[in-house]
């Protein structure tokens, strides 16, 4: 077996479309015999495929061997796990030998020919059938078919596949993910009938001006073929152009598909046709004549137990979850997914960038020296990968762009991939982010460009192509712009989505973006005590790894939404509602690209102090795509501007009918007008309600509740985004590092003065980081207003020169009992940071103890509720009610102390200390997205400054 070449695999049939055929097939998946050798040299040579396998172990196909007890997984991002020595893999390179014996099903054997199909083998394989070498594979996530006709025999057949974990192909497959070798997609034996159909390519065009559909058909068959689309009355020879008459177009919003069959005397294949036209006009991206907005995510194939093995129910469920969160576009980062996924994309409605299985990112470490993209020796390998990608998926309506791959820099091999693709399929656009000159791409694509740069790119589009610029620049300026990756959903965050989206909507050239990434790629294992734990890079003892950089999704590995998904969904919601409670009216903005609002209604609800006082539903206004209308609500919806109690009018646009992803009543947009007057300051009482530690000025208790604090807090347990470098900034150091260097995590407090008299106490403290001469002068005035209640007035004045912004400014206190819940009036129920609040609505929320903070796989600051005016922190020892007398506050309630959260590397290693940790924050630094991308925008940072706040604190049993 040869595993150090620059050429593609050998012996396979030319790539072709995936179709459903009436010819029989036989799935060879199941339990196979398996053995692994530590290197190719150590693996038995010669006729290894004829070995006695009775002593071999068994393995499930499809599957990855290192998730089935043979070796262990490894994660690296850009860096290769071995020296950059192309095309050679390292000597230490597990070689897996697979053997299965089977009898050919009679109905498969009864046909003229048989094809053996592999849908995915990582990374290189040699295929032997009954001793005959059928060929080899390259392109782990690509389909390879071999003609098995002459090698098959009656009775027992033996199929043997030798798989190298690493090979020359690994240099082209350096994607940011786990290295997971093996036959991880199905193996199928297909009958090939005489007069059968080898390949079909149907291009289904839609003319928005006339409403007519037409088909351009190429069939590769040994016999005359006909195409039939019964629903459209199409029944014609399957070649050239066929008119389809009036059709309903396909779009991600209305994914209308027509069943088509192509038949010869020997075979019938079925495909589903969606009519649509993709074009670029005047810097805009149009489908069916209308501009579209890509509300996207990057999707890897990942299952916490099975790796990249396809699980039909799991995948369908995750796509439904995307639809429920208004996601309408997917980039298949960074390889074509399992072929059935494309059927789901077509059926559920997603705009898809189908990406080739290609990434040579590791060469960036050496300034791209030796990069295969620019080396003609690898040309055929590149073209082979692209052809396999395009051919397999070419009949899918959802695919609107072909992507050459990811992060492979520039070079002639990429140019040639693009040229071939455009020639073969002019109905779609070519995407590639790695070449900003855009010489051969049809869209200008970038990743993680800052807000400011995106704005400039939008403006450049308004001006049109600059005539005096270099030709390449002029071409680039004429293209639509998208961010194939923007905002990095790692840990708490991402912040700044809304600001990006406002830009995308402001400039026609900007056609949206794809969040990196959909799901956290953690792998589940059982700990010694039998509990399930999610692991990341380094946890399997890898020498080379990139830690938790693989945990960066909008959903957990088990597809539980992280707060970022809720906020993203709100930003991209297809309907935006601006509610005016005083006028009892709502401005409805329809942000769909094609659909009107006839499938929706508006549901409104007016809630006063937590009680619903009026509600109703009215039809959505007649409002074509990308237009707005004002709707009057009934009089009961009206709330006086000077309401004395909290008076909240919420309007949602909801679906009228069941959709595959959600039953009727699913919200596709929401807006609210919340009036939340502050509690009035009660009269002072003479008897003290609070107990103090007169040596520190801190509380010891309120009423019967044991409380310690408050201390002034300016630090948070670093988030993944706090740990990202601030590229392009004057000081690019990680903000977490700067906080730590400045000592914000270990401030000390000195009592300046303590005065108590009757029901009131006045405390002055100075809180400062060690080493430096800056500090915070705090004046805390407590006034008893009941037997267990105080008014707390806070005055904060920083002095001196501070080296870096504060992470937050809060009053941190600890209650000496574990939390049992949180009830609050404020923005929620989802937790939020100041720059990620869109998915939170004002309400009266009850939070269960497990939901107080977010169970991030690497623990970090999380769980803040913003805009809180009234909260009751419930603990095993009683409750503490906190009401804002002035501005609302951000509230964090946690079972673990910040230092412990910062220490723990994994959620299963985080210890709750039996106390309730409460932070009442007057201000916070935004989340940003610096784990990959810009930090918090300046407006969401927190410069040291003076603050004033007043609260009512009340303890109850
Ligand atoms: C991009 C890359 C992705 C991922 C991301 C960071 O550069 O294309 O694959 O690595 O960065 O998570």
Residue 879 and residue 436: Cα distance in Å, rounded?
A: 58
- Structural fold of domain 197-276: Immunoglobulin-like (2.60.40)
Extended beta strands in 591-680, E state: 600-608, 611-619, 627-632, 647-655, 667-675
Q: Say if strands 878-884 and 698-702 run parallel, antiparallel, or are unpaired.
A: unpaired
Atom of ligand 1 nearest to the CA of 552: 12
Phi, psi values for residue 17, rounded to 5°:
-70, 150
Cα 173 to ligand 1 centre (Å): 13
- Which among 739, 712, 723 has a CA at the least distance from the CA of 811? 712
Give how far the C-alpha of residue 373 lies from the chain's centroid of Cα atoms, to the nearest Å: 28
Question: Atom 9, ligand 1: which residue's CA is nearest?
Answer: 176
Residue 301 and residue 74: Cα distance in Å, rounded?
A: 16
Question: In the predicted model, is pLDDT for residue 643 greater than 80?
Answer: no
Question: In the predicted model, is pLDDT for residue 357 greater than 60?
Answer: yes
Cα 334 to ligand 1 centre (Å): 10
CATH class of 690-956: mainly beta
pLDDT of residue 644: 81
pLDDT of residue 771: 87
**Ligand 1 site, residue 433, Cβ cutoff 6 A:** no
Give residue 470's pLDDT band: very low, low, confident or very high (50, 70, 90).
Answer: low
Atom of ligand 1 nearest to the CA of 77: 10
Question: Atom 3, ligand 1: which residue's CA is nearest?
Answer: 176
pLDDT of residue 468: 52
Task: Let me know: does 205 contact 247? Beta carbons within 8 Å.
Answer: no
The conformation of residue 561, written as its DSSP 8-state character, comes to: B
**Ligand 1 site, residue 932, Cβ cutoff 6 A:** yes
Cα 176 to ligand 1 centre (Å): 6
Atom of ligand 1 nearest to the CA of 517: 12
Task: Let me know: does 23 contact 193? Beta carbons within 8 Å.
Answer: yes
What average pLDDT score do residues 28-35 get?
98
Phi, psi values for residue 602, rounded to 5°:
-105, 130
Give the side-chain half-sphere CA count within 13 A for 214. Answer: 11
Question: Which residue's structure tokens are 């270099």?
Answer: 470
Question: In the predicted model, is pLDDT for residue 465 greater than 60?
Answer: no
Question: Which of left, alpha, beta for 842 (phi over 0: left; psi -120 to 50: alpha)?
Answer: beta
- Sign of the alpha-carbon dihedral angle for 575, 578, 581, 585: negative
Q: Which CATH architecture has domain 280-569?
A: Alpha-Beta Barrel (3.20)
> In this predicted model, what pLDDT tens digit does every residue of 882-915 receive, in sequence order?
999 999 999 999 999 999 999 999 999 999 999 9
| Homologous superfamily (CATH) for 20-192 | Galactose-binding domain-like (2.60.120.260)
pLDDT of residue 642: 78
pLDDT of residue 934: 97
Atom of ligand 1 nearest to the CA of 490: 12
Angle, CA of 585, 590 and 591, to the nearest 5°: 135
> In this predicted model, what pLDDT tens digit does every residue of 792-819 receive, in sequence order?
999 999 999 999 999 999 999 999 999 9
**Ligand 1 site, residue 516, Cβ cutoff 6 A:** yes
What average pLDDT score do residues 603-631 get?
97
Question: In the predicted model, is pLDDT for residue 472 greater than 80?
Answer: no
Choice from 298, 361, 434, 932 to test ligand 1 binding pocket (greatest atom count within 8 A of CB): 932
Mean pLDDT of the chain: 97
- Which among 161, 191, 175, 178 has a CA at the least distance from the CA of 61? 161
pLDDT of residue 179: 98
* Global pTM exceeds 0.75: yes
Q: Where are the alpha helices (DSSP H) in 425-552?
A: 451-463, 471-477, 497-506
Choice from 176, 517, 519, 550 to test ligand 1 binding pocket (greatest atom count within 8 A of CB): 176
**Ligand 1 site, residue 402, Cβ cutoff 6 A:** no
Residue 234 and residue 258: Cα distance in Å, rounded?
A: 11
> In this predicted model, what pLDDT tens digit does every residue of 502-558 receive, in sequence order?
999 999 999 999 999 999 999 999 988 999 999 999 999 999 999 999 999 999 999
**Ligand 1 site, residue 176, Cβ cutoff 6 A:** yes
pLDDT of residue 463: 65
User: What is the share, in percent, of the chain residues with pLDDT greater than 90?
Assistant: 96
What average pLDDT score do residues 68-87 get?
97
In the chain, DSSP finds a helix count (H) and a strand count (E) of 11, 58
**Ligand 1 site, residue 77, Cβ cutoff 6 A:** yes
**Ligand 1 site, residue 552, Cβ cutoff 6 A:** yes
pLDDT of residue 469: 57
Question: Atom 11, ligand 1: which residue's CA is nearest?
Answer: 932
Q: Say if strands 226-229 and 187-192 run parallel, antiparallel, or are unpaired.
A: unpaired
pLDDT of residue 464: 55
Q: Say if strands 841-847 and 878-884 run parallel, antiparallel, or are unpaired.
A: unpaired
- Sign of the alpha-carbon dihedral angle for 802, 806, 810, 813: negative
Three-state SS at 280 = strand
Cα 218 to ligand 1 centre (Å): 37
> In this predicted model, what pLDDT tens digit does every residue of 746-799 receive, in sequence order?
999 999 999 999 999 999 999 999 989 999 999 999 999 999 999 999 999 999
Question: Which residue's structure tokens are 């977010």?
Answer: 854
CA distance between the termini of the chain: 75
The domain segmentation of the chain, as residue ranges, is 20-192, 197-276, 280-569, 574-675, 690-956
Question: In the predicted model, is pLDDT for residue 728 greater than 80?
Answer: yes
> In this predicted model, what pLDDT tens digit does every residue of 444-460 receive, in sequence order?
999 999 999 999 999 98
> In this predicted model, what pLDDT tens digit does every residue of 618-629 receive, in sequence order?
999 999 999 999
User: What is the share, in percent, of the chain residues with pLDDT greater than 70?
Assistant: 99
pLDDT of residue 475: 86
Cα 519 to ligand 1 centre (Å): 13
Active-site residue set? 407, 485
HEC-encoded secondary structure of 714-758: CCCCCCCCCCCCCCCCCCCCCHHHHHHHCCHHHCEEEEEEEEEEC
* Statement: 574-675 belongs to CATH 2.60.40.10: yes
Atom of ligand 1 nearest to the CA of 333: 9
Question: How many C-beta atoms lie closer than 10 Å to residue 13's C-beta?
Answer: 16
> In this predicted model, what pLDDT tens digit does every residue of 378-421 receive, in sequence order?
999 999 999 999 999 999 999 999 999 999 999 999 999 999 99
Same topology, domains 197-276 and 574-675? Answer is yes
Residue 532, CA distances (Å) to 473, 528, 852, 907 in order: 53, 9, 21, 11
Give residue 482's pLDDT band: very low, low, confident or very high (50, 70, 90).
Answer: very high
What average pLDDT score do residues 933-943 get?
98
Task: Let me know: does 108 contact 114? Beta carbons within 8 Å.
Answer: yes
Question: Atom 4, ligand 1: which residue's CA is nearest?
Answer: 176
What average pLDDT score do residues 60-64 get?
98
Give how far the C-alpha of residue 486 lies from the chain's centroid of Cα atoms, to the nearest Å: 10
**Ligand 1 site, residue 122, Cβ cutoff 6 A:** no
- Which among 307, 423, 295, 311 has a CA at the least distance from the CA of 351? 295
- Retrieve residue 777's tokens: 């002068």
Residue 26 and residue 186: Cα distance in Å, rounded?
A: 11
Three-state SS at 197 = strand
Phi, psi values for residue 47, rounded to 5°:
-90, 55
**Ligand 1 site, residue 407, Cβ cutoff 6 A:** yes
**Ligand 1 site, residue 355, Cβ cutoff 6 A:** no
Angle, CA of 56, 60 and 61, to the nearest 5°: 110
């Amino acid at each position: 077996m040869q595993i150090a070449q620059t050429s593609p695999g050998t012996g396979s049939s030319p790539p072709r479309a995936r179709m459903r055929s009436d010819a029989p097939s036989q799935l060879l998946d199941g339990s196979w015999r398996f053995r692994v050798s530590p290197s190719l040299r150590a693996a038995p040579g010669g006729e290894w495929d004829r070995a006695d396998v009775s002593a071999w172990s068994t393995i499930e196909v499809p599957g990855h061997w290192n998730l089935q007890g043979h070796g262990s997984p490894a994660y690296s991002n850009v860096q290769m796990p071995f020296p950059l020595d192309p095309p050679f893999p390292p000597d230490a390179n597990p070689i897996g030998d697979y053997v299965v014996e089977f009898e050919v099903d009679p109905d498969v054997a009864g046909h003229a020919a048989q094809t053996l199909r592999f849908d995915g083998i990582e990374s290189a394989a040699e295929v032997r059938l009954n001793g005959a070498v059928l060929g080899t594979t390259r392109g782990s996530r690509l389909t390879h078919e071999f003609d098995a006709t002459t090698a098959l025999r009656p009775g027992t057949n033996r199929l043997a596949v030798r798989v190298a974990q690493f090979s020359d192909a690994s240099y082209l497959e350096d994607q940011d993910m786990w290295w997971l070798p093996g036959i991880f997609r199905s193996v199928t034996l297909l009958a090939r009938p005489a007069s059968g159909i080898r390949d079909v390519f149907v291009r289904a065009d839609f003319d928005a001006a006339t409403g007519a559909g037409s088909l351009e058909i190429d069939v590769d068959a040994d016999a005359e073929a006909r195409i039939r689309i019964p629903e459209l009355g199409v029944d014609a020879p399957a070649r050239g152009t066929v008119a389809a008459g009036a059709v309903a177009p396909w779009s991600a919003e209305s994914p209308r598909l027509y069943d088509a069959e192509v038949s010869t005397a020997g075979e019938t294949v079925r495909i589903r046709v969606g009519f649509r036209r993709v074009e670029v006009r005047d810097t805009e991206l149009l489908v069916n004549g209308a501009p579209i907005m890509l509300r996207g995510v990057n999707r890897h194939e990942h299952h916490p137990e099975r790796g990249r093995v396809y699980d039909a129910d799991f995948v369908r469920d995750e796509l439904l979850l995307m639809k429920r969160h208004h996601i309408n576009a997917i980039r298949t980062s960074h390889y074509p997914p399992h072929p059935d996924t494309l059927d789901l994309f077509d059926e559920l409605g997603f705009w898809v960038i189908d990406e080739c299985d290609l990434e040579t990112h590791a060469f960036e470490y050496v300034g791209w020296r030796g990069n295969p993209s620019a080396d003609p020796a690898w040309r055929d390998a590149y073209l082979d990968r692209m052809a396999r990608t395009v051919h397999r998926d070419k009949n899918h309506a959802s695919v609107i762009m072909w992507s050459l791959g990811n992060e492979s820099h520039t070079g002639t091999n990429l140019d040639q991939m693009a040229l071939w693709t455009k020639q073969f399929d002019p109905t779609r656009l070519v995407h590639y982010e790695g070449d900003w000159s855009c010489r051969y791409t049809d869209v200008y694509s970038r990743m993680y460009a800052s807000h400011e740069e995106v704005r400039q790119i939008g403006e450049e589009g308004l001006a049109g192509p600059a005539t005096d610029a270099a030709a390449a620049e002029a071409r680039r300026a004429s293209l639509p712009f998208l961010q194939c990756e923007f905002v990095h959903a790692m840990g708490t965050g991402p912040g700044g989505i809304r600001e990006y989206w406002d830009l995308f909507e402001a400039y026609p050239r900007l056609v949206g973006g794809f969040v990196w990434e959909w799901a956290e790629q953690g792998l589940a294992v059982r700990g010694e005590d039998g509990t399930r734990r999610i692991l990341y890079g380094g946890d399997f003892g890898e020498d080379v790894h990139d830690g938790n950089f693989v945990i960066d999704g909008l959903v957990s590995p088990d597809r539980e939404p992280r707060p970022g998904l809720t906020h993203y969904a709100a930003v991209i919601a297809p309907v935006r509602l601006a509610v005016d409670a005083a006028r009892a009216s709502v401005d409805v903005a329809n942000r769909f690209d094609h659909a009107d609002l006839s499938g929706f209604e508006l549901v409104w609800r007016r809630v006063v102090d937590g009680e619903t006082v009026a509600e109703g539903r009215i039809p959505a206004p007649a409002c074509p795509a990308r237009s707005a209308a004002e709707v009057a609500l009934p009089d009961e919806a009206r709330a006086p501007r000077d309401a004395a109690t909290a008076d909240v009018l919420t309007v949602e646009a909801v679906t009228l009918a069941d959709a595959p992803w959600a039953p009727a009543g699913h919200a596709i947009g929401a807006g609210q007008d919340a009036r939340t007057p502050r509690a009035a300051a009660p009269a002072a009482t003479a008897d003290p309600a609070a107990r103090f530690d007169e040596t520190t000025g801190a509380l010891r208790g309120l009423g019967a509740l044991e409380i310690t604090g408050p201390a002034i807090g300016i630090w948070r347990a670093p988030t993944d985004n706090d740990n990202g470098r601030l590229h392009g900034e004057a000081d690019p150091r990680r903000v977490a590092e700067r906080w730590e260097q400045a000592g914000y995590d270990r401030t000390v407090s000195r009592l300046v003065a303590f005065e108590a008299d009757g029901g009131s106490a006045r405390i002055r403290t100075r809180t400062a980081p060690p080493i430096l001469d800056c500090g915070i002068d705090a004046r805390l005035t407590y006034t008893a207003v009941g037997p267990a209640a105080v008014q707390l007035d806070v005055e904060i004045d920083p002095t001196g020169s501070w080296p870096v912004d504060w992470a937050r400014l809060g009053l941190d206190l600890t209650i000496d009992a574990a939390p049992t819940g949180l009830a609050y009036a404020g923005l929620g129920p989802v937790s939020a940071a100041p720059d990620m609040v869109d998915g939170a609505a004002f309400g009266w929320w009850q939070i269960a103890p497990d939901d107080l903070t977010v169970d991030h796989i690497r623990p970090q600051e999380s769980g803040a509720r913003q805009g809180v005016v009234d909260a009751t922190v419930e603990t095993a020892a009683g409750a503490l009610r906190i009401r804002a007398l002035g501005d609302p506050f951000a509230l964090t309630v946690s079972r673990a102390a910040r230092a412990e959260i910062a220490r723990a590397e994994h959620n299963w290693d985080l210890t709750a200390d039996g106390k309730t940790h409460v932070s009442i924050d007057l201000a916070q630094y935004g989340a940003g997205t610096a784990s990959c991308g810009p930090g918090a925008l300046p407006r969401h940072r927190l410069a040291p400054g003076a603050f004033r706040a007043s609260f009512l604190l009340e303890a109850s049993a």
